[in-house]
Amino acid sequence: LSRKDRCFRFRIARKEAKESRYWLRLVHVGDKDDLAQQRDTLHQESEELLLILSAIISKLAPPPASFEH
């Protein structure tokens, strides 16, 4: 894959991680502490994954074009 394709695919993965984080916030587990703990753990993992994917994307993305006059 080209650098541009890899960056595009990592952006898709980051978008999916953001969506997973969103749905985890919406999950209502009631008064079940074990489920709340699992949800919180998954939410934390999605946050970490977002940071990793964002770092990869920033390294793969081409630098912004500079315009010199």
Spatial separation of the C-alpha atoms in residues 60 and 7, rounded to whole Å: 6
Q: CA 42 → CA 14, 25, 37, 61, distances in Å?
A: 15, 10, 9, 28
Spatial separation of the C-alpha atoms in residues 58 and 4, rounded to whole Å: 12
Instruction: Average the pLDDT over each of 21-30, 34-43, 44-53 and give the range with the smallest value.
Output: 21-30
8 A C-beta contact, residue 24 and residue 42: yes
Percentage of the chain modeled with pLDDT above 70:
90
Q: What is the pTM of this model?
A: 0.77
User: Which pLDDT belongs to residue 61?
Assistant: 78
